[in-house]
Amino acid sequence: MLTQLRARVSELNALADQVLLLAERLSKRDETAQPDLAVKGQQWVRGARALMVAQQYSGLKAFDECCTTSSSWMDIGRYLTQDWSEYGSQSNMPEGFKIFKRRFLEARALLNALESELVSRELPVKTALSFEVASTEIDTAQEVLDNANGAEVFLRASGVIARVALERHLFTVADSRSLQIITNPPTKKHPDVEDVLQTLTKSGVLTAIQKSQFDTLFKIANNCAHPKGPVVLADVQQLIRDGRQLASLVV
To the nearest 10 degrees (0 to 180), the angle between helices 114-146 and 152-176 is 170
Q: Are 159 and 152 in contact (CB under 8 A)?
A: no
What's the confidence (pLDDT) of residue 44? 98
User: 17: how many CB neighbours lie within 10 A of its CB?
Assistant: 12
**pLDDT classification of 126: cutoffs 50, 70, 90:** low
Side-chain-facing half-sphere of 199: CA atoms under 13 Å: 20
Return the higher-pLDDT residue of 89 and 157: 157
Return the higher-pLDDT residue of 90 and 102: 102
Q: Render pLDDT for 56-88 as a digit per residue (tens, 0 to 9).
A: 999 999 999 999 988 888 899 999 987 655 554
CA distances from 67 to 33, 109, 146, 228 (A): 20, 13, 64, 69
**pLDDT classification of 122: cutoffs 50, 70, 90:** low
What's the confidence (pLDDT) of residue 92? 76
Phi, psi torsion values for 36, nearest 5 degrees: -60, -40
pLDDT at 128 over 60: no
Q: Render pLDDT for 182-198 as a digit per residue (tens, 0 to 9).
A: 898 888 888 999 999 99
What's the confidence (pLDDT) of residue 2? 72
What average pLDDT score do residues 208-220 get? Answer: 94
In percent, the amount of the chain with pLDDT more than 70 equals: 90
Instruction: Mark out the alpha helices in 68-188 (DSSP H runs).
Output: 76-80, 93-112, 114-146, 152-176
What's the confidence (pLDDT) of residue 88? 46
What's the confidence (pLDDT) of residue 97? 92
Q: Enter the pTM of the model.
A: 0.55
pLDDT at 18 over 80: yes
**pLDDT classification of 116: cutoffs 50, 70, 90:** confident
212: helix, strand or coil: helix
Q: Are 110 and 59 in contact (CB under 8 A)?
A: yes
In percent, the amount of the chain with pLDDT more than 90 equals: 53
Q: Are 130 and 169 in contact (CB under 8 A)?
A: yes
Average pLDDT, the chain: 88
